[in-house]
Amino acid sequence: MPLRYRVALLLLAVCIPIAMSPAFAARPAPVRVALPHPTQINGTNGSCFLGQTVADAAYIWFFPSDDYYYTFFDPTACGCALVKNYVAHWVLFWPTPCQIHAQVWILPAVNVGGGCYVPNTAASPPDPTTGLCNSAIVLLDGSAGGLIDHTVPLPAGCDCLNGPFFVLFKIVDSQCPIDPSSGALSSPAIVVDNTPDPCISYNAYPGSGGPVDMVPNFGFPGNTTMFVEADCCVVPNLPGTWGKLKTLYR
């Protein structure tokens, strides 16, 4: 094959992946909407809250369907190695009353170095095959409007497992209005705290190439207000004394 054709084919092979690569930076910039005031979300029943619990600002920036949002948490922050009785929380602000359907997973977190974790999920975001447990599809009801802490109890498949983890909420579908100028839902708004930490909040969608860190890549001034509440797992002590054990092995 002549050299010029080999060069042309090489350039074509390089350019095609670039053309097909996810242009996540091309997504519209988040549009801020006013929250009444910053709020600390205190959960409901659990003894420990893991993740991001402060609601400081809200932004129009949801693009259903198949829109995935991940938030990092580490069970050792509860003061115990393992936790159980998971309830997932997603705090959303509803400028217009409406409803969306969502599904929740707990995923293992992968350390990629420097203390940074990413969700253990596929590069293209289908529903996770690596999930430790997941909910059914649930209704997140914003018909009351305003700031709402949505809770989803999770099955026992996640109980007492070694972390750290990510909690994942997937927007399955929506009955909410769409902003024609951006293509984003005009309600609900994503809620974030006031600490823009990398390696905490991720978003994935078809064509994103996997979870994308929302703070450095999309310019969010905080992390997604999403967390789990849980209870510590109690490791039972073996009954009996040393003297009693000796009698069992005579």
Q: pLDDT-based confidence at 64, cuts 50/70/90?
A: confident
Which pLDDT does position 2 carry in this prediction?
41
Q: SS3 for 214? A: helix
Q: pLDDT-based confidence at 206, cuts 50/70/90?
A: confident
pLDDT at 1 over 60: no
Which pLDDT does position 44 carry in this prediction?
64
Segment among 36-40, 187-191, 219-223 with least mean pLDDT:
36-40
Q: pLDDT-based confidence at 28, cuts 50/70/90?
A: confident
Segment among 21-30, 94-103, 192-201 with least mean pLDDT:
21-30
Q: Is residue 53 within 8 Å of residue 40, measured between CB atoms?
A: yes
Q: pLDDT-based confidence at 24, cuts 50/70/90?
A: very low
Distance CA 233, CA 81 (A): 8
pLDDT at 248 over 60: no
Which pLDDT does position 43 carry in this prediction?
65
The pTM for the full model equals 0.83
End-to-end CA distance of the chain: 84
Name the average pLDDT for the chain.
84
Distance CA 223, CA 239 (A): 45
Separation in Å, CA 16 to CA 84, 122, 123: 47, 21, 18
Summarize the confidence of residues 128-150 as an average pLDDT.
Answer: 94
Separation in Å, CA 163 to CA 79, 84, 136: 13, 12, 23
Q: pLDDT-based confidence at 6, cuts 50/70/90?
A: very low
